[in-house]
Chain A
Amino acid sequence: MTCINRETIQRYIDNEVKNSEKYIIEAHINICNRCASEVKRADTLKNSINNALNNNLNKDIEIPDFKIPETEVKRTAFILKKVLYAAAVIMVITSLSVVVLVNNNNANVVIPETNTIQNIEYDANKSIFDTEITVIVTDNEGNSTAYSIE
């Protein structure tokens, strides 16, 4: 096998090679001092980079409570205000409608019924022209009045 290129060494030390490739690389490293030292050098450099960037970074990192942005709070309050106004308007309109409906219903009830014709007395043996008809009308208060129709 020819020597391993830099990219493959990189993938090897980063554990990003397939198992089949890994066996071939390791078999080569065992017989090639040059590639073995290249792998060692790449690994050391990787650790140095990690140390240079990571040193002490985890110290004292605490997760602060997330503060909801003020604009969002204001926006929510604004929307809530709008919803409340809308609800108030709907309630007023609904109340007014109920009052009008009730008034209309009451108006129907209040309208006095016209006096009813309670009884018509006539003699069936007489010609209609000779018959005297008496109509008794009873008003809402129960007062009856008799009218004669000639």
Chain B
Amino acid sequence: MNSFEKIYRDNYKSTLRVAIKIIGNRSIAADIVQEVFIVLYKKLKNREEINNYKAWLYRLTYNKSVDYFRMTKNDNYTEYNENDPEYTDQDSYDTETINRLREALTKMKPKDKLLMILYSEGLSYREISEVTNIKYNSVGKTISRTIEKLEQELKLQYHDLY
């Protein structure tokens, strides 16, 4: 199982980051990531073939997170809590914009939000295509449209505020 150990060490942090971004709670995200790696462990033990570990781990993390939300009957998906130390800003970046963006992200459809999360992880269009099954040639267009939706949501929030 040496290869499993290597995959685990190489991918744990990024998988946990994605899970936290989806769930919004580190402890629950860690449990989900643990489950994901258990599935991987069993698959490798049974000599099942996985072509792209990173894409596979992100996909399963997303599916398990959606299962978690269904189980807890929480349709809001990520609830970014401003007081959560996970999301407390320590730098002087435009805090208001960031908070409004987080709020807008919570209102997105899960698949749109996953796209934004993968995008924020710095994945290439090729990698995003492998995780989401969006055609490689359409990734740019899909990201552009998703960001446009996000902007629309920000505008709505702005109108609500002012």
Query: Which positions in A face B, CB cutoff 8 Å?
Result: 6-11, 14, 16, 42, 45-46, 48-58, 61, 63-64, 66-69, 72
Contact = CB atoms under 8 A, between A and B. Distances in A.
B8 A63 contact: yes
B125 A14 contact: yes
B101 A56 contact: no
Contacts of A46: 147
B98 A48 contact: yes
Interface in B63-99: 85-91, 93-94, 97-98
Contact of A10 (B13, B38, B90, B143): B143
Contacts of A42: 147
Contact of B140 (A10, A51, A64): A10
Contacts of B116: 49, 53
B20 interface: yes
A109 B140 CA distance: 91
A69 B42 CA distance: 9
Pairs of residues from A and B, 3 with the lowest C-beta to C-beta distance, nearest first: A52-B101, A10-B144, A53-B120
Main SS of chain A's interface residues? helix
Contacts of B147: 10, 42, 45-46, 49
Contact of A68 (B13, B41, B102, B140): B41
Contacts of A50: 120
Q: In this complex, which of A42, A52, A56, A69 has the most chain B Cβ atoms within 10 angstroms of its Cβ?
A: A52
Nearest to B17: A57
Contacts of B105: 52-53
Interface in B15-60: 16-17, 20-21, 30, 34, 37-38, 41-42, 45
Given A14-B143, A66-B5, A66-B41, A48 B119 contact: no
Given A52-B102, A53-B21, 10 more contacts: A7-B140, A10-B144, A14-B143, A42-B147, A53-B117, A55-B93, A61-B17, A66-B37, A68-B41, A72-B45
A6 B144 contact: yes
B93 A51 contact: yes
Given A6-B148, A48-B98, A69-B41, A57 B21 contact: yes
Contacts of A68: 41
Given A6-B148, A7-B140, A63-B13, A56 B86 contact: yes
B124 interface: yes
19 contacts: A7-B140, A7-B141, A8-B140, A10-B141, A14-B125, A14-B143, A48-B97, A48-B98, A49-B120, A51-B98, A52-B101, A53-B117, A53-B120, A54-B120, A57-B17, A63-B12, A64-B30, A66-B4, A66-B5
B150 interface: yes
A9 B141 CA distance: 10
